[in-house]
Structure formats: C-alpha cells, structure tokens
Amino acid sequence: MKSWILAARPKTLPAAIVPVWVGAVPVLFDGNPDTGSWVLFRFTLFSCIWIQIATNLFNDAIDHRKGADTEKRKGPTRVTATGLLSPKVVMAGGLVCCILAALFAIPLIFEHGLIVIVIGVVSLFLAYGYTGGPFPLAYRGMGELFVILFFGLVAVLGSYFIQTGEIGGKEIWTLAWQCGLYSSALIAINNLRDVDEDRETGKKTLAVRFGKTFARIEIVFFCLLPALLWQVHLATRDGKDFVYFAVLLSSYVLGGIICRGVCRNLPGPLMNALLGLAALQLVGFGTMVVWHYSTR
C-alpha cells in the first residue's frame, strides 16, 4: 500500500482539487442556499482526483520505460524506477483509476449530457497521452500548455458548468487562467529541477529547449501574473478596507519567495521545497477565492 501511495503522488493532488473547488466556489458560496450542488461538486472532485492519480501512474511507468527516470533523479522516488512495483502493474493501476474516474462522472453525465462525455473522454485520453502514445506532450515541451488548458480552463470552467449549466463570464474565466498559471508553476519548477537529466534522456521540456534562464523567467511569470489578475476580482468589491489590501499583498508573498528561490539557486533537490511552496500557493489561492465570494 505504501508503494501505491508513493506512486499516486499525494503532493500533486492540489492541482486536481483546487481547480474544481475554485470553479464551484462562486456558486456554493454566493449566499443563496438554492444555488449550487455539493453532491455534484463531490462527484466532480473525485472524478478529477482519479484522473490525476491515473496520470501520475502512467507517468511513473512510461518515464521508466523511456529511461527518463534514472539514478541521477533529484525528485521524489519513483516506484517503477526503483523496482517497488512493476511497470505492468502500475499501468494496470492507471487503467483502474481511469475506470473509477468514469464511474464518478456518471451523475454528471445524467445532469449535463454529451458535453461531459466529451470532456471526460479527452481528459482520460490525455491522462495517458501526457507522457505516452505517439505524441507525448511532456516530451514535446507542451507540459505547461497542457496544465494551463486542463488544470485551468477545462477544470475551472467545467466545474462551474456542472454547477450552473453555463460557461461563466469575465470573473470565472479569470479564475480559470489564474488556476492554470499557478498549476503550471508546479510543472515548470519540476522541469527546471530535472533539466540536466531530461536533456540526457531526450525529454525535450521547455527548460531543455530554451535553457535554465527561460525556465526561471516562465516560473516568475506563472507566479506573478495570477497575482496581478486579482485586480479583476477585487475591483468588484464595494469596500476597499485593510483586508482588501492585505489580500492583494498576500497574493504576491509566496510567489515572491518562489521566484527568489528559483533565480538564486541551481537546479537540484532544493527545488523540491519550492515545489511544496508552489502547491501551497495554489491552495492559498483557492482559500482566497472562498474569502472573496463569501464576504463580498
């Protein structure tokens, strides 16, 4: 069981949880008990969590098969690379997770029909296609784009659609971009940490293609642009009190620490601590969204 928990990579789960949470918060915390559905939220959340775990399992097995995880690895232990689980067993586990994700999506399909099926099929396919298949996104420098699209736009807008049957306006789209950018900071830091190993094994991430300086610049972009976008939400508030300015300032704090860390240090194990801060930054963003919609 311990090996399976390690393979599931619990520290990555905020990237699946927060977008669903953020997409539902504007309806669940709007002060109207007749709007929003906690039941649909739970089914959406568990479906996305199982897709995330499936992606992690496929990634673990496929990276090992392609030689991308070696003894030089600076990140957390990978179960197939260390022999804790066989690649076939891990791949089978990923398939089981996909089936569980599909089962949790059944109530969502009954509620909204074909569009949920389309989103679900594409998401399940890309759980494998992120590192596997004829055009693995992570090996083509498309990891960050994938995360912005699916952990930002698709997850947030999709979660909001499940609650309302609508795509949403300016604020919801802004939340989606913020979530996608904050989530991309995670993968960008991961790619900067592993840039030397990825270069040796032929994994052409953006950090490998354009260098460490570019990787640092994109991390700064992913951390600070979402903070700037808070202006869109805060502009809708009636009062501009101390709390308003405290929120505006706090949205830059963790991002600033992360940016300083990646710019002042060489790629290596220290990046694991910065990854933890990036995950905390994403969770903090989700908490601030609750504050915004429950107090305005």
Residue 29 sits in which domain range? 2-295
pTM given for the model? 0.91
Residues of the chain predicted below pLDDT 50: none
Query: CA 65 to CA 151: how far, in whole Å?
Result: 26
Q: What is the pLDDT of residues 14-62, one digit of tens each?
A: 999 999 999 999 999 887 777 889 999 999 999 999 999 999 999 888 8
Query: CA 182 to CA 223: how far, in whole Å?
Result: 6
Per-residue pLDDT at 233: 87
Q: What is the pLDDT of residues 60-93, one digit of tens each?
A: 888 888 776 655 555 667 788 888 889 899 999 9
Q: CA distances (Å), 71 to each of 11, 32, 81, 207, in order? A: 22, 54, 8, 20
Q: For the chain, give the DSSP string.
A: -HHHHHHH-GGGTHHHHHHHHHHHHHHHTSS-TTS--HHHHHHHHHHHHHHHHHHHHHHHHHHHHTT-S-TT--SS--TTTTTSS-HHHHHHHHHHHHHHHHHHTHHHHHHHTHHHHHHHHHHHHHHHHTTSSSS-GGGGT-HHHHHHIIIIIIHHHHHHHHHHSS---HHHHHHHHHHHHHHHHHHHHHHHHTHHHHHHHT---HHHHH-HHHHHHHHHHHHHHHHHTHHHHHTT-S---HHHHHHHHHHHHHHHHHHHHHHHS-SSTHHHHHHHHHHHHHHHHHHHHHHHHHH-
Q: Judge residue 117's burial from the number of C-beta atoms within 10 Å of its C-beta, 0-12 exposed, 13-18 middle, 19 or more buried.
A: middle
Per-residue pLDDT at 75: 60
Per-residue pLDDT at 68: 63
Query: CA 77 to CA 71: how far, in whole Å?
Result: 10
Per-residue pLDDT at 78: 77
Mean pLDDT of the chain: 89
How many domains are there within the chain? 1
